[in-house]
């Protein structure tokens, strides 16, 4: 953690792998990159073993490109697809037991606040719908009730993709899956409303169709969590394997869902709104 940790010790440049040298010289450390400049700098996340055309992998790629301070960030994940890409990035990653990510993040954030009182250290949880809304439900809710200051991002693929296609609490009603042959009998959990009533100060629902908007939402969620309280992003990241979407149509599917139940939605408390308005005014002046 910190820039000193990233730099290559003098004299060792020629022995370091090419990827690492690129990361230090042309990467994101110590400077702000614009997500629209993707493809012109070395990204934090490396080659990952996620399926071809996976839009969870896409969301994670944009997530890493939009971190405000990658050198001062810790990412937490849990069992599920997302950890396959999260663990391949040049940002410290902690792998929680299934469902306890938000409990681990609470302790970590408190410890970092005591250890570095003069610095902002960002803690971000990225887990799937199973990790946050099914098995980790209790710990997720209680971290919000306690108003812990970190960001929770749910990458919602609406199924247990890793273990063969069981229905999850976030699967839409009536959907037939490999391990739910009769179709799901219950409604999809309304995670956004739950987050609002549980004490989150910034809540967003997004479908990954516009990289600039994803970056803006992620930056806002992280900055609001520094000062005010818990923040939550609900992102639609389709599972093209379990939902049998041809890889070429994955973006079309995301656009389609955006028109239906994943319309872009952003909610924040008044004090957070004021904070962002003031910040934007300063940016315009600069």
Partner 1 sequence: MYFVAKVKEDECAKYNCKQCVLFCPEPNCINFLEKKSTAWVWPDKCKGCEICVYVCSDLLKRNCIEMVMVQAGD
Q: Please identify, among the stretches 40-48, 129-137, 177-185, 271-279, the one whose residues bind partner 1 according to the rule CB under 8 A.
A: 40-48
Distance CA 178, CA 176 (A): 7
Q: Which of residues 191-230 bind partner 1 (CB under 8 A)?
A: 211
Binder among 132, 194, 239, 250 for partner 1 (CB under 8 A): 250
Q: Based on CB atoms, which residue is closest to partner 1, 61 or 196?
A: 61
Asked if 48 touches partner 1 (CB under 8 A), the answer is: yes
Q: Based on CB atoms, which residue is closest to partner 1, 105 or 155?
A: 155
How many residues of this chain interact with partner 1, rule: CB under 8 A? 28
Tell me the per-residue interface mask from 56 to 75 with partner 1, x by CB under 8 A, - otherwise: -xx--x--x-----------
Q: H/E element holding 95?
A: strand 93-95
Q: Based on CB atoms, which residue is closest to partner 1, 71 or 249?
A: 249
Q: Which of residues 93-152 bind partner 1 (CB under 8 A)?
A: none
Angle at CA of residue 75, ends 61 and 73, nearest 5°: 95
Distance CA 97, CA 131 (A): 9
Asked if 39 touches partner 1 (CB under 8 A), the answer is: yes
Q: Please identify, among the stretches 41-49, 152-160, 194-202, 276-284, the one whose residues bind partner 1 according to the rule CB under 8 A.
A: 41-49
- Token pair listed for 239: 């599972």
Handedness of CA 172, 174, 176, 182 (dihedral sign): positive
Q: Based on CB atoms, which residue is closest to partner 1, 42 or 226?
A: 42
Provide, rounded to whole angstroms, the least separation between the CB of residue 27 and partner 1.
11
Distance CA 67, CA 17 (A): 24
Residue of 170, 243, 234, 237 lying closest to 208 (CA atoms) = 237
Provide, rounded to whole angstroms, the least separation between the CB of residue 54 and partner 1.
6
Q: Based on CB atoms, which residue is closest to partner 1, 6 or 251?
A: 251
Q: Please identify, among the stretches 7-15, 54-62, 70-78, 158-166, the one whose residues bind partner 1 according to the rule CB under 8 A.
A: 54-62
Find the radius of gyration of the CA atoms of the chain. 19
Distance CA 91, CA 88 (A): 9
Helices (H), the chain: 3-6, 18-26, 55-65, 82-86, 101-115, 129, 137-145, 191-197, 211-227, 250-259, 270-285
By CB under 8 A, name the binding residues for partner 1.
Answer: 35-36, 38-40, 42-43, 45-48, 50-55, 57-58, 61, 64, 211, 247-252
């Amino acid at each position: 953690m910190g820039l000193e940790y990233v730099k290559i010790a003098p004299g060792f440049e020629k022995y370091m792998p090419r990827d690492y040298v690129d990361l230090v010289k042309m990467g994101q450390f110590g400077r702000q990159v614009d997500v629209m400049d993707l493809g012109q700098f070395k990204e934090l996340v490396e080659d990952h073993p996620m399926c071809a055309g996976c839009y969870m992998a896409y969301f994670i790629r944009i997530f890493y490109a939009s971190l405000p301070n990658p050198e001062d960030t810790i990412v937490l994940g849990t069992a599920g697809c997302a950890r396959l890409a999260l663990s391949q990035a040049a940002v410290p990653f902690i792998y929680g037991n299934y469902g306890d990510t938000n409990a681990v993040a609470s302790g970590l954030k408190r410890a970092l606040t005591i250890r570095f009182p003069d610095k902002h250290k960002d803690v971000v949880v990225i887990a799937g719908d199973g990790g946050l809304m099914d098995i980790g439900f209790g710990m997720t809710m209680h971290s919000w009730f306690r108003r812990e200051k970190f960001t929770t991002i749910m990458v919602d693929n609406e199924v247990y993709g890793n273990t063969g296609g069981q229905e999850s609490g976030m699967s839409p009603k009536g959907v037939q899956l490999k391990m739910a042959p009769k179709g799901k009998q219950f409604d999809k959990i309304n995670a956004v409303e739950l987050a609002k009533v549980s004490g989150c100060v910034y809540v967003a629902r997004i479908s990954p169709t516009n990289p600039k908007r994803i970056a803006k939402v992620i930056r806002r969620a992280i900055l609001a969590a520094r000062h005010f309280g818990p923040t939550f992003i609900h992102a639609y990241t389709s599972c093209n394997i379990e939902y049998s979407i041809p890889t070429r149509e994955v973006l079309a599917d995301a656009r389609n869902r955006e028109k239906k139940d994943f319309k872009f939605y952003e909610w924040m408390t008044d004090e957070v709104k004021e904070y962002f308005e003031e910040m934007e005014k300063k940016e315009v002046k600069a």
